[in-house]
Amino acid sequence: MSNPSSARAPVLKLTPLERRASLSLAVLFAARMLGLFLLTPIFAVAATTLVGGDNPARVGLALGAYGLTQAAMQIPLGMASDRYGRRPVIVFGMLLFVLGGVVCALASSVDWVTVGRVIQGLGAVSAAITAWIADATRPEVRTRAMALVGGSIGISFALSLVLSPVLVGEFGLSGLFWAISLLGFLCLLIAMFFVPPVPRSEADIVQATARDVLGHKDLLRLNFGVFCLHFILMALFMVAPGLLGRLGGYDSSSLWQVYLPVILASFVFMVPAVFYIERHKAYKASLEWAVLGLAVVLGLLPWLEGAFYPAVLALVGFFVAFNILEALQPSLVSRAAPPHYKGLALGFYNTAQSLGVFAGGVLGGMLVRWGGSAAVFWTSAMLAVVWLYTARGFRDPK
């Protein structure tokens, strides 16, 4: 593996503009992701109150429809953000997100929830948000800014585990969808009024083509990496709740007591790691070590299935690597992609992420049926090894 540079660069501070843009976009991303995650922990049970909610195939389609349309629209909206600007595309996407949430809230059947989820997925703005952060920050501090967005995914996931059962218990499934729509409206206000304008050069609005991204080997490696990362995440959480419940005696309403400390502990280790990466410019080496860490943790999990605290420690290790990669990889995409197609490159990147979520959930369930939790762990570990092999060919963007 590559050795990080021994030269120590001074730690640069975010400028006021960089700080305001990064924080406001991180809050926007966190609120949007919370709106997505809120449905996942509870829908399979709550959907029984809807017409068709006793059909697992229809319920699964309602959950997965968002990921498929999200994957389809990331690239077109990423390209649109390059041409027309980040703010208009994000505002348009959040309007669709709110509209889809309202359709779901008014739905009396699972089929209408599917329609609402399709509409929500059409507002795929992840690429535009990450491109906006790249526009607003210098390369020297971009990983730190991306870490705010990457960390928001873990925080939103942890909060969803706490809030989802409470909201459904108090207000029903319709109330949950109204809450999701309210979060979408909050994101709309942030995009319109709180994110500062960022000057863009003329080069930033030149339209590129898909061939530019597909012919870029380093971008392809990063796209494969984010597919693997989110495939592994979804597959892992096909078995983690049941494993922790069996070992620790937790039910679905109390699992947040495990997840929240795990996520917070992982942040404690992730933050200094991000500063180390920036100070030493150890981008390639850190990518390789984090992927190796994933492979090791996943390879150990089959041997830790019978012990609660070792399994929890393994989950902490998993999320340390996950959060580092979640911050590092989009930063590397923005460094590797030329300025005139950052949005398009991040569109491909977020498409690969959405496909990883979809594939990890579907194939993770099949693996559980075929070989139990060990099959999920071993398959995920092998995928991480393949990812590590491809990551070694990545060119360090120093």
Amino acid 245 reads G
Residue 213 pLDDT: 74
pLDDT, position 326 = 81
Residue of 269, 361, 371 whose CA lies nearest to 315: 269
| CATH number 1.20.1250.20 is the correct assignment for the domain at 208-398 | yes
For the residues of 50-104, what is the DSSP string, one character each? Answer: SBTTT-HHHHHHHHHHHHHHHHHHHHHHHHHHHHH-HHHHHHHHHHHHHHHHHHH
Q: Please give the DSSP secondary-structure letter assigned to residue 8.
A: -
Could you please state the CATH topology (level 3) that the domain comprising 16-197 is classified under.
Growth Hormone; Chain: A; (1.20.1250)
Q: Which residues of 256-269 are buried (b: 16+ CB within 10 A; e: fewer)?
A: bebbbebbebbeee
pLDDT in tens, the chain (398 residues): 444 444 444 557 778 888 888 888 888 888 888 887 888 767 766 778 888 877 766 776 777 778 778 888 887 888 888 888 889 999 999 999 999 999 999 999 989 998 998 899 898 888 788 788 888 888 777 767 776 776 677 678 778 877 887 888 788 889 999 999 999 999 999 999 988 887 655 444 445 566 777 778 888 899 999 999 988 987 887 777 778 878 888 776 677 788 778 878 887 888 788 778 777 777 888 889 999 999 999 999 999 888 889 989 998 999 889 888 887 887 788 777 776 676 677 778 878 888 887 787 777 777 877 888 889 899 999 999 999 999 888 877 65
d(CA 309, CA 257): 13
Q: Which residue has the tokens 């795990």?
A: 262
Sign of CA dihedral 254, 258, 264, 267: negative
Domain ranges of the chain: 16-197, 208-398
Number of H helices, E strands in the chain: 14, 0
Residue-level pLDDT at 349: 84
Instruction: Classify residue 384 by its DSSP letter.
Output: H
> CA 258, CA 154: separation in Å to the nearest integer?
14
Which residue's structure tokens are 């540079």?
A: 5
pLDDT confidence of residue 182 = 94
pLDDT at 141: 74
Q: How many CB atoms lie within 10 A of CB 112?
A: 17
> Which pLDDT score is estimated for 203?
45
Token pair 């009396």 in the structure block, residue: 108
* pLDDT value at residue 188: 92
Is there a contact between 258 and 244 (Cβ–Cβ < 8 Å)?
Answer: yes
pLDDT of residue 105: 94
Please tell me if the domain spanning 16-197 has the same topology as the one spanning 208-398.
Answer: yes
CB 239 within 8 A of CB 368: yes
